[in-house]
Amino acid sequence: MNTFTIRKPDNPHGHLRLGFMMQRVLPFADRIFSRYVVMGNTFPRLIETGEDVDVYRRNIMACAMPGFCPVMSIMLTERTTSEILREAYDAGARYVKFIGKGVSTNSDEGISFFGLKKKYPVLREVEKICLDTKKEDMIFSVHPELNENSKGERIPYIYREEASLPFCRQLVEDFPGLKIIFEHLSTREMIEFVKSTPPNVAGTLTPMSAIVAYEEVCNEAGEVINPLKFFKPVAKRIDDMIAVRETMVSGNPKFFVIPDSAPHEMHKKQLHLLKGKKPAAGVFSDPVFMPLVTDIFFSEISDSELARQRLEDATSRFWAEFMRLPLNIETITLKREEWTVPFEYGGIPIFMGGQTLNWQVV
Summarize as ranges the residues that interact with Zn ion (CB under 5 A): 260
- Closest residue (Cβ) to Zn ion? 260
Residues β-bridged to residue 255: 203
Residues β-bridged to residue 141: 97, 181
Q: Which is nearer to Zn ion, 161 or 260 (CB)?
A: 260
CB of 177 to Zn ion, least distance (A): 25
What's the CA gap between 223 and 88, in Å, rounded?
A: 39
The answer to whether the CB of 94 falls within 8 A of the CB of 139 is yes
Q: Which is nearer to Zn ion, 263 or 291 (CB)?
A: 263
Q: Which is nearer to Zn ion, 143 or 179 (CB)?
A: 143
Q: Can you state the percent helix, strand and coil of the chain, rounding each to 5?
A: 40, 20, 40
Q: Which is nearer to Zn ion, 144 or 310 (CB)?
A: 144
CB of 282 to Zn ion, least distance (A): 7
Q: Which is nearer to Zn ion, 102 or 121 (CB)?
A: 102
What's the CA gap between 176 and 130, in Å, rounded?
A: 10
Q: How many residues does the chain have?
A: 362
Q: How many Å is the Cα radius of gyration of the chain?
A: 19
Q: Which is nearer to Zn ion, 6 or 283 (CB)?
A: 283
Q: Which is nearer to Zn ion, 233 or 353 (CB)?
A: 233
CB of 349 to Zn ion, least distance (A): 17
CB of 262 to Zn ion, least distance (A): 5
Q: How many angstroms from the chain centroid is the CA of residue 296? A: 18
Contacts of 345 (CB under 8 A, 6+ apart): 24, 284, 287
CB of 309 to Zn ion, least distance (A): 27
CB of 103 to Zn ion, least distance (A): 11
CB of 97 to Zn ion, least distance (A): 8
Tell me, what amino acid is at 207?
P
In the chain, where do the E strands start and end? 3-7, 11-14, 35-38, 69-75, 93-99, 139-143, 179-182, 201-205, 255-257, 331-340, 344-345, 348-349, 356-361
Q: Which is nearer to Zn ion, 4 or 256 (CB)?
A: 256
What's the CA gap between 205 and 208, in Å, rounded?
A: 9
The answer to whether the CB of 37 falls within 8 A of the CB of 71 is yes
CB of 273 to Zn ion, least distance (A): 23
**Residue 203, SS3 per DSSP:** strand
